[in-house]
Amino acid sequence: MTIRTIGIIGGGQLGRMLAAAAARLNFRTVILEPQPDCPAAQVANEQIVAAYDDPAALAKLARRSDVVTYEFENVPVTAAEALQKTVPVHPPAKALEVSQDRLTEKTFLNACGIETAKFHAIDSQADLDAALADFGGKGVLKTRRFGYDGKGQRVFRSAGDDPAGTFEALGGVPLILESFVPFEREVSIIAARGKDGRVSCYDPAENVHRNGILHTSTLPARISEDAAQAARESAEKLLAALDYVGVIGMEFFVMADGRLIANEIAPRVHNSGHWTEAACVISQFEQHIRAITGLALGDSSRHSDCVMTNLIGDDLHAVPEWLARKDVLVHLYGKTEARPGRKMGHITELKGRKTPSQG
Ligand code: AMP
């Protein structure tokens, strides 16, 4: 079937960048998002203003679209499964199921032969006390579901940290306690798998977080070629196990000996892959569109070193200065209100390029 229209669930900046990449390849886009005039809808052909699990809206999205994708991992699995009956959905609903729950995610990664932090499921204060005792009083406690940008987490740094009342304080919801990983740095890899099973990986990025939010992604990452190869192999294993089509982001901790420990996966384009639009010929956004529409995957090699910096809240004021600089690509998300902690845009500085021509 000829694909003309791509349905995108979620209307944030990732949906916006997917819609823009889709338009360049002559695809139309329809966004399902409850917030009117969302970032994605501003550059798409149509928006269905409704909840992500609204059956009538999902049916409309299926009618309008030749393929459906999503830009965030908390799309209800039931919505993806319902859509799948009438329209192809990429990445598969299984990828949502695995990534929505940190316990399922780590269990799945381990089953694929991918190392993670050690972990215990926590369903009560007694579970927490026992798990902390097992980890020598140290660990990172996280909500199993709906945690992002470091929200819903508590770090136990030493045996002296008192866990009393923590289970209730975090809302009495299912939790996971992870062993504390004394990592040297954090990296991520963006990989794509086509309908033919071919996998293409971008270079791993080195990521720095501030207040739980990604601050910068730097290329190249300070890791060995062996570690980069291990990241690529992990991505390949995971993508094959999920029979995945589309782009995925995988985050890792890098240990002092170069070993990688997987932390999180995101079944979508990823903030730590925004640099690809400036330092590669084919961005992660176009790569995703190519994958889900059955087109050939593009070249994911990198032509420049670079640093991507997120513009959070008031960082937006610095945009005129960034625009005045050479070798800087500015990308803004069309959000009107610059609340603290809100991602408003990003910039990518190319480093070590040949001297740009004058003018
Ligand atoms: P996450 O929400 O899982 O991405 O965690 C947010 C940040 O917390 C990570 O980027 C790390 O900097 C830190 N972190 C998460 N899990 C661990 C862990 N098990 N050990 C040490 N640091 C962690």
Give yes or no: residues 71 and 13 share one domain.
yes
Query: For ligand 1, what atom is nearest to the CA of residue 183?
Result: 21
Verify that 205 and 314 share a domain, yes or no: yes
Q: Which of 255, 263, 272, 310 best tests ligand 1's pocket when mutated (most atoms within 8 Å of CB)?
A: 263
Assigned domain for 109 exists: no
In a domain, 304, yes or no: yes
Within a domain: residue 95? no
Q: From 178, 212, 227, give the residue that closes a domain.
A: 178
Residue type, 297: L
**Per-residue confidence (pLDDT) for residue 158, from 0 to 100:** 86
Which residue's structure tokens are 């945009």? Answer: 319
What is the whole-number distance in angstroms between the Cα of residue 251 and the centre of ligand 1? 10
Domain span at 16: 5-89
Same domain membership, residue 223 and residue 132: no
Token pair of 211 as six digits: 């207040």
> Considering 49, 68, 89, which residue would you say is the last residue of a domain?
89
Q: How far is CA 226 from CA 21, 32, 223, 303, 326, in A?
A: 32, 41, 8, 21, 34
pLDDT at 353: 73
- Burial pattern 136-157, b for ≥16 Cβ within 10 A else e, equals ebbbbbbbbbebeeeebebebe
- The enclosing domain of 33 has a CATH number of 3.40.50.20
302 and 256 fall within a common domain: yes
The answer to whether residue 44 sits within a structural domain is yes
The answer to whether residue 162 sits within a structural domain is yes
CB 194 within 8 A of CB 291: yes
Query: Are residues 166 and 212 both part of a single domain?
Result: no
Residue 260 belongs to some domain of the structure = yes
Would residue 98 count as lying in a domain? no
The answer to whether residues 325 and 257 belong to one domain is yes
CA of 67 to the centre of ligand 1 (A): 34
What number does the ligand 1 atom closest to the CA of 182 have? 21
pLDDT of residue 356: 57
Q: Could you read off the pLDDT tens digit of each residue along the chain, which spans 359 residues?
A: 799 999 999 999 999 999 999 999 999 999 999 999 999 999 999 999 999 999 999 999 999 999 999 999 999 999 999 999 999 999 999 999 999 999 999 999 999 999 999 999 999 999 999 999 999 999 999 999 987 666 678 999 987 888 999 999 988 999 999 999 999 999 999 999 999 999 999 999 999 999 889 999 999 999 999 999 999 999 999 999 999 999 999 999 999 999 999 999 999 999 999 999 999 999 999 999 999 999 999 999 999 999 999 999 999 999 999 999 999 999 999 998 989 999 999 999 999 776 655 54
234 & 341 share domain? yes
Both 286 and 328 in one domain: the answer is yes
Residue from 102, 140, 183, 250 whose mutation best tests the ligand 1 pocket (most atoms within 8 A of CB): 140
Q: Is residue 100 part of a domain?
A: no
Alpha helices in the chain (DSSP H): 13-24, 55-64, 77-84, 93-100, 102-111, 125-134, 166-169, 225-241, 276-279, 284-292, 319-323
Q: Which residues line ligand 1 (CB under 6 A)?
A: 117, 140, 147, 150, 178, 180-181, 186, 209, 212, 263-264
Please report the atom of ligand 1 found closest to the CA of residue 147.
2
Give me the number of domains the chain comprises: 3
CA 13–ligand 1 middle distance (angstroms): 23
- 340 in the same domain as 298: yes
Specify the CATH number for the domain of residue 266. 3.30.470.20
Q: What is the CATH number of the domain that holds 141?
A: 3.30.1490.20
pLDDT value of residue 248: 98
Task: For residues 191 and 172, state if they share a domain.
Answer: no
How far apart are the CA of 261 and the centre of ligand 1, in A? Answer: 11
Say how many Å lie between the CA of residue 234 and the centre of ligand 1: 19
How far is the centre of ligand 1, averaged over its atoms, from the C-alpha of 226 (Å)? 23
